[in-house]
Structure 1
Amino acid sequence: MHNIEKAYQARSTFSWAKEIPDSIFLNEVLPYRVFSEDLDDWRGDFYDRFSKYVTNSKTIKDAIVAINKNIRDEVKVDYNTQRKKADQNPSESISQGMASCTGLSILLIDALRSVGIPARIAGTPNWHDNRGNHSWVEVWINGKWYFTEYYPDKDLNYSWFLADAGKADPNSKEHSIYAASYKPAATSFPAWSETEVYADNVSQRYIDLFNQQYSQQLKDKSYTRLNVTMYLSKDQCQPEGRTKCNVDIFQGNDQIGGGSTATKLQDANDHLTFIVKKNQSYTLRYSNKSGPTEKKVTVNDEPLNVILYFN
């Protein structure tokens, strides 16, 4: 009852919450659970914590930005894979001061829901190149869903992972993008426990969004391609000598992308490609035979081909 009372208090308090359709409120604001986490009486505490940040917000997007901007300093939880489990509830993450992407997403979603903002968890069980899973947050604004993360990018629908999400396979349960649902839905989201999590397959929306942003960047003359290939060694620099390597690209402290290099089984013209701004410096982080390493590169006006070696 306390969860219901506080949810309706938020709905009657904030202008954007009053305008949310019942179908959205009941599925993406009212629910007490986001994913497969243990139950937690979070709503009253979070209403008290986060309502102050949205008091002066004029629109739902203003409120989203305000919560996203302040959540880390409010709860003092940071990304750390040493957390006790993946699908932590808010109390578990706050008590440890750490969480991984699923726990961080649950924190942000509960903070948003506490002030009447529809939010849900989205993610993939495994990226298209088998680099592992990832979870993030979707928010509802005037009939459309947008994505963000606990550590926000420059705007909604921007993040380092979009290039990977844009290569999702809607026909593969392992490589699809899902958005969780409290009510029964068309499919289920592979969770971290035996708890069934209803979900919708939203892969195509991410594919379309990536293609749209990708084409816009290619038309923008201030961007170019950075192609990455890894060979087994310097004396094996031919297509048959290529090997898979997970590479993350950073600009300063901010990750702007990631992916896997092509193997010998892929087309000789298949490269790990990043679309980057010209006349900028970047850091590639990867692992070779010696362990984790990095390579700094500067991109000028022309496309840059970067060669890495495993041995």
Structure 2
Amino acid sequence: MTSQTLVFSLDAQLLERIEQKFQEKVRFAEARKSELFHIFQQELTQEETWALKYIYAYMPVNDLADYNGDLFLSHVRRALDTRKRVPWGDRVPDHLFLHFVLPYRINTENIEDYRGLMYDELAERTAKLSMADAILETNYWCHEKATYIGSDLRTISPLTMIRNARGRCGEESTLAVAALRSIGIPARQVYTPRWAHCDSNHAWVEAWADGQWYYIGACEPEARLNQGWFSPPARRAMLINTRIYADYPGPEDITLSEKGYTEINLLENYAPTRNIYVKVKNEQGEPVP
């Protein structure tokens, strides 16, 4: 139907792709069909239906085994309701909402129903602020909840982070992204697997406000955006990227596009960059396989 093309500004071709991927997950998870897909038997709005199909379409397969549909429906309904409540909700374009507000997963954390709890803590606190100031204020809130300490390799969930009051940078940034998304602000976890000056890595957060992406050190509040202890080494990083659970079209440089996710290169947000093209040929001047 023509009206469907208006849902999240998705055209018929994109809706068809989401439907196809959704049906693949339905067939793949046949053994847990009742636990995962019974929610579609409820009375759903068109937005709720397509938001659910969207997150199922790009859901990691382990989540199909570990969680039930009620959890995903709660995330969807909270995200849609928050978008209507926050003062900047109508300023966030649909494609940013789908890719950087709606998703329930950030890293490898266990999934919990955190959106309502964080919204209740942050909504009034940020309601009269600009989007940029709301990002800063949310990071102050994160700083009040947790501080840095090294931990195991698996990322703990945002609520576990609050209960523990400490975690490593990957967990701090997971908490901050979850908090920002809970008040309808697009956010993504940014990661450098290696600096240029040492064999180490780091994770932080980018958040979107009124047409521009900014960065913050998660749980490390500063007086302004685009400021952090890692700013100088970020200019010498080998790679700065983020993973998006979707067929993400850009506009950032896409470095990897797999069936369930897309990775984008964000290095140009931190340092001057340019493209270098390399041709590898054998002694006969032919391309090397």
Report if TM-score (shorter chain) is over 0.5.
Answer: yes
Q: TM-score, normalised by structure 1?
A: 0.58
Please name the residue that 1:155 is paired with.
224
Please name the residue that 1:79 is paired with.
148
Is 2:117 the partner of 1:45?
yes
CA contact (8 A) 1:139 1:147 kept: yes
Please list the CA deviations of residues 122-161 of structure 1 after superposition, one character each: whole Å capped at 9, or x if unmatched.
0201111233010000011222211002212231111111
Which of 136, 146, 150 aligns to 1:65? It is 136
Shift of 1:53: 1.2
Please list the CA deviations of residues 34-82 of structure 1 after superposition, one character each: whole Å capped at 9, or x if unmatched.
122222221121111221211222x211211221222222xx321111x
Shift of 1:182: 2.6
SS in structure 2 at match of 1:160: coil
SS in structure 2 at match of 1:152: coil
**C-alpha separation in 1, matches of 2:122 and 2:234:** 30
CA contact (8 A) 2:123 2:183 kept: yes
Shift of 1:188: 4.9
CA contact (8 A) 1:86 1:102 kept: no
Please name the residue that 1:199 is paired with.
263
- Unpaired runs of at least 5, structure 1: 169-174, 190-195, 210-311
Structure 1 pair 136/86, CA: closer, same or farther in 2 (3 Å)? farther
**C-alpha separation in 1, matches of 2:127 and 2:92:** 18
Which of 119, 138, 143 aligns to 2:206? It is 138
- Unpaired runs of at least 5, structure 2: 1-72, 249-253, 274-289
Which range is displaced more, 180-189 or 107-116? Answer: 180-189
Please name the residue that 2:102 is paired with.
30
**C-alpha separation in 2, matches of 1:62 and 1:127:** 29
**C-alpha separation in 2, matches of 1:21 and 1:157:** 22
Alignment of 1:1-311 (within 5 A): 1-57=73-129, 59-73=130-144, 76-81=145-150, 83-149=151-217, 150-168=219-237, 175-185=238-248, 186-188=254-256, 198-208=262-272
CA contact (8 A) 2:188 2:207 kept: yes
Shift of 1:197: 5.9
CA contact (8 A) 1:86 1:100 kept: no
Larger proportion of strand: 1
Structure having the higher Rg: 1
CA contact (8 A) 2:246 2:261 kept: no
Aligned residue identity for 2:122:
F
CA contact (8 A) 1:35 1:197 kept: no
What is the percentage of aligned positions where both structures have the same residue? 32
Q: TM-score, normalised by structure 2?
A: 0.62
Please name the residue that 1:280 is paired with.
none
Shift of 1:86: 4.7
Aligned length: 193
**C-alpha separation in 2, matches of 1:120 and 1:147:** 10
Shift of 1:94: 2.1
CA contact (8 A) 1:28 1:182 kept: no
CA contact (8 A) 1:184 1:198 kept: yes
**C-alpha separation in 2, matches of 1:55 and 1:142:** 15
What's the RMSD between the two structures over aligned residues? Answer: 2.0
Aligned residue identity for 1:71:
C
Structure 1 pair 121/2, CA: closer, same or farther in 2 (3 Å)? same
CA contact (8 A) 2:87 2:127 kept: no
Structure 1 pair 197/38, CA: closer, same or farther in 2 (3 Å)? farther
Shift of 1:200: 0.6
Please name the residue that 2:281 is paired with.
none
Shift of 1:84: 4.0
